Structure 1
Amino acid sequence: MDDPVSLHCDRTPSPRGDRQAAGKALRQTVPRSAHRDWHPQGDRPNPLDLLAKSNQQRIPNLIPIRHWRMMQSPFTFMRGSAIIMAADLATTPTTGIPVQACGDCHLLNFGGFATPERNLIFDVNDFDETLMAPWEWDVKRLTTSFILAGRDLQLSDRDSSEAALAAVQAYRLAIAHFSEMRTLDVWYARLDAKVLIKHAPDEATRRHWEKMTTRAFNRTLDRAVVQLTEVVDGQRRFIDNPPLIYHLPNQAEYFEQISLLFEQYRDTLQVDRQFLLDRYRLVDVALKVVGVGSVGTHCGVALLLDDNDDPLLLQYKEARPSVLEPYAGKSSYPHEGQRIVSGQRLMQAASDLFLGWTTNVEGRDFYFRQLKDMKTAIKLKGMSARSLEDYAEICGAALARAHARTGDPAMIGGYLGESNAFDQAVTDFAVAYAYQVEQDYQKLVEAVQSGHIEAIPG
């Protein structure tokens, strides 16, 4: 699919009932059953070629670490290959209803984090690929991730499919709920961790959410500083642990570059947050490897101290064009960091105080955010089938809330309807596409084994 998808962007006000009817009418041109099939086209790009394309302009010595992380399982391969699935999703049917999409919507890109008021909420938490795009793309990627995660956990095919189905069903029911709400109420809606614990369907799930909440409250700034920094010659600095976190040989020059980057980033913050940030001074920076898909991009950490030597940790990440852009159209933002920050603010119920963006002297875009402050994610290893299904429901509902903020929940809800027709169709798609991911994963493994692609543990 070479041309950007056609999206309905008409924001002319119309009654909720009319928009629901318009969504229902879309079933005539795009039946819900049309979302079931996955048949790779004859001109489907070689997945390894797309990976090579995504490796362009990454830090060369870190690319083998990215390959190693991706080849641990088909699920980790999927996490690092959003570019491949974006190309494939662009060939599938869509209703043309746009939302601010996550773009890399898999189950580990959700989690708990603190609001500025220090409340713990659950939400989407990765936005490197965010863009206005069809809502179906996020739903299909999320659902596929549950099939692959279930297989990674060695659950039965039935259990994996039930978890995937639960995610889509929760999305549909939540969209229906948000479609009946007032606009401001949708904007204020959030999934509070306390509510998740209170309404857990069983004791095992309640304990799971309590552990997740405890981990979040234990992941304080002070703890992160102890883990990541040390005092050398009276100066606090990051602990070198190459290749995962390290200072550069030309550290003094690099520090000056990031200092300039930091000053420019400050100007993108709200005035009150500029005032807060001005209480701190930058004392150290280091490169840091993060995630799977981001490995090899320019990511680093910054240590700041105030007059009392109390710390603040920030992360800066290179902001590259979204993998959705060739298929959904170019971003409306002139700056990739601004695209990511704006997308995050649009989708999340509450966002980091220190989100901002800037560009370095080489013309590369970056964005800043706070590092490891009351953030937590599920521990996938050892999850039971029931826990995975419960988690799928929460992710589906969280995604629906994010889409309802920028999309038209009445129109999407009208299309989805009250039956499970869409739920089952997308689950069937996810099962079929998971096999595609496994085939692509095997190609990477074979390329590494033959020496055509390098992979290094890290």
Structure 2
Amino acid sequence: MNSTAISADQGSATSAQPYRTVEERRADGRAARERLAPRDLGDLASDVDDSSQRDPTALLLQQAQTRVAELVPIRHGRMARTPFTFYRGAALVMSDDLSRSASSGLTVQLCGDAHLSNFGFFATPERRLAFDVNDFDETYPGPFEWDIKRLAASLAVAAFDNGLTRKEAKRVARACATEYREAMTAQAGKGTLAAWYTHAEPSERLTEVRDLVGASATKSMRLQIKKAWRRDSLQALSKLTTVVDGEVRFVSAPPLIVPVEDVVPDRDLSTVYDELQGRLAEFRETMAPRHRVLLDKFEFVRMARKVVGVGSVGTQAWVLLFRGKDDGDPLLLQAKEAQASVLARYLPGPDFTSEGERVVNGQKIIQAVSDVFLGWQSGIGFDGVYRHFYLRQLRDAKGSVPIETLDAVALSVYGRVCGRVLAYGHARSGDSVAVAEYLGSTDEFDRAIGRFAVAYADRNARDHAAFVAAIDRGAVPATADH
């Protein structure tokens, strides 16, 4: 790790931080500029250009060793589809690359995997629709620029995948950086509570994002909002379950959906569910007391293993079905395995007794509002391995923008919205005054991030090609799924 790395104490959101005046915080930002000028954020470390110093495929195979063996080929097959799907699964590769570069030393709670597809819509407890980061498997404290670099590079990768020119890709990434910088400056100028509560709420009037979109983009956004509201437990229930002998059961479509009774066919089913009830009791204790009351109104019915996403494939992910008043009143929770963040091997930070707790705490810091069912649980799995999990609703008005359909204008709009909400999250967990001072009022930072994004997109394309070649020669197991 480079010499400007953050200290472990800075990375802990649980340890009390001394009060600092606004001028002292600005001085921190100026000191960071002395360590690393914003224009230098556009550089890729020279040593990572030497193929002898990096092997992305080897890193991914190393990561696969802790995953469910039968699912790893699916992960590799999904990553091989396009440079963008490869990028989605290669958070470890980029973390390795970023660790070789100098750091600003300005610490925030990182999303850790802030690519375009990890942003989206979800319902708040107040039943309003928010737009925010929605995946926190890799969340960890670290230099703020690691997240914005990953986000901007994902824009450039998506731009190339969508057939845009190099100039257009750089412009899209730069617009994202501009929005991040301006949003961070605005947050630094607000009162502490006002900054904490700021979030993007794309209601019917598109209040927080309306100024970013034109007429056509606004129409598209409204369409996505309508779709998001239809994505709830009832909609998921119709796709994931069937009725057998009058009982609701998960469909069996291995290896993508496998009921728990098929995962452990040699075990007595009643014993398995008794064990699961005990684990749910442990999960319940990590919830806020008022939310436990809500959970207690539901009866646990069934569970199945479900393959999700791209980068997460191979980690254990389960979907749990609960019944409220009757079968027409379902609750679906997702229990997702939380392994150590890919950032943890490169950045100092706090120790957690549970990786699930790390994910939940990070999510609650970064998001303005979070799922009421968030919690965690750890224990020995059916395979005899001690694993960490976090739980959340599977669907609660969740929606995302289809990246592959976006032209240059729409991609720029979407990137700006993502850049804005990323700044909101960073301002909650870090020092917005220091970061804003570091970013400055010129476009120096914006240009640097735009330059970095297209350069890294080129590198990602080469990594993807090498990965596909390794699959073709049989060095990497991969299976295409649909």
- Identify whether the pair has TM-score above 0.5, normalized to the shorter chain: yes
What residue number does 2:223 align with? 211
Q: Secondary structure at the match of 1:191?
A: coil
The counterpart of 1:132, out of the listed 134, 141, 146, is: 141
1:67-106 to 2 correspondence within 5 Å? 67-106=76-115
Q: Secondary structure at the match of 2:372?
A: coil
Distance 1:447 1:128, change over 3 A: same
Contact 1:4 1:329 in 2 (8 A): no
Matched, 1:107 2:116: yes
The counterpart of 1:313, out of the listed 319, 327, 332, is: 332
Contact 1:5 1:327 in 2 (8 A): no
Matched, 1:119 2:128: yes
TM-superposed CA distance for 1:307, in Å, is 4.1
Q: Deviations over 1:23-77 (max 9, x none)?
A: 1232222111211211343463311111011111211111000000001111111
Provide the C-alpha distance between the structure 2 equivalents of 1:414 and 1:359, rounded to a whole number of angstroms: 41
Provide the C-alpha distance between the structure 2 equivalents of 1:354 and 1:132, rounded to a whole number of angstroms: 24
Provide the C-alpha distance between the structure 1 equivalents of 2:185 and 2:257, rounded to a whole number of angstroms: 45
Contact 1:179 1:413 in 2 (8 A): yes
What residue number does 2:42 align with? 36
Distance 1:307 1:214, change over 3 A: closer
Contact 1:200 1:206 in 2 (8 A): no
What residue number does 2:422 align with? 399
Q: What's the RMSD between the two structures over aligned residues? A: 1.7
What residue number does 2:463 align with? 440
Q: Where do 5+ consecutive residues of structure 2 fail to align? A: 11-15
TM-score, normalisation: structure 1: 0.96
What residue number does 1:201 align with? 213
Q: Percent identity?
A: 38
TM-superposed CA distance for 1:80, in Å, is 0.2
TM-superposed CA distance for 1:260, in Å, is 2.8
Distance 1:323 1:3, change over 3 A: farther
Q: Deviations over 1:211-262 (max 9, x none)?
A: 1101111112211111211111111111122221112242526544433322
Q: Secondary structure at the match of 2:392?
A: strand
What residue number does 1:266 align with? 284
Provide the C-alpha distance between the structure 2 equivalents of 1:4 and 1:320, rounded to a whole number of angstroms: 27
1:406-421 to 2 correspondence within 5 Å? 406-421=429-444
Matched, 1:304 2:322: yes
1:9-408 to 2 correspondence within 5 Å? 9=10, 11-38=17-44, 39-41=46-48, 42=50, 44-194=53-203, 195-196=207-208, 198-247=210-259, 248-250=262-264, 252=269, 254-309=272-327, 310-361=329-380, 362-408=385-431
Provide the C-alpha distance between the structure 2 equivalents of 1:121 and 1:268, rounded to a whole number of angstroms: 24
Q: Where do 5+ consecutive residues of structure 1 fail to align? A: none
Contact 2:2 2:102 in 1 (8 A): no
Distance 1:254 1:442, change over 3 A: farther
TM-superposed CA distance for 1:443, in Å, is 1.2
TM-superposed CA distance for 1:431, in Å, is 1.2
Provide the C-alpha distance between the structure 1 equivalents of 2:290 and 2:198, rounded to a whole number of angstroms: 25
TM-superposed CA distance for 1:159, in Å, is 1.4
Q: Secondary structure at the match of 1:53?
A: helix
User: Which stretch shifts more, 315-324 or 330-339?
Assistant: 330-339
Q: Secondary structure at the match of 1:147?
A: helix
Partner letter of residue 293 of structure 1? G
Contact 2:318 2:334 in 1 (8 A): yes
User: Which stretch shifts more, 254-263 or 232-241?
Assistant: 254-263
Q: Deviations over 1:316-352 (max 9, x none)?
A: 0111000000111243322100000000000001000
Contact 1:331 1:339 in 2 (8 A): no
The alignment of Structure 1 onto Structure 2 pairs a total of residues equal to 458
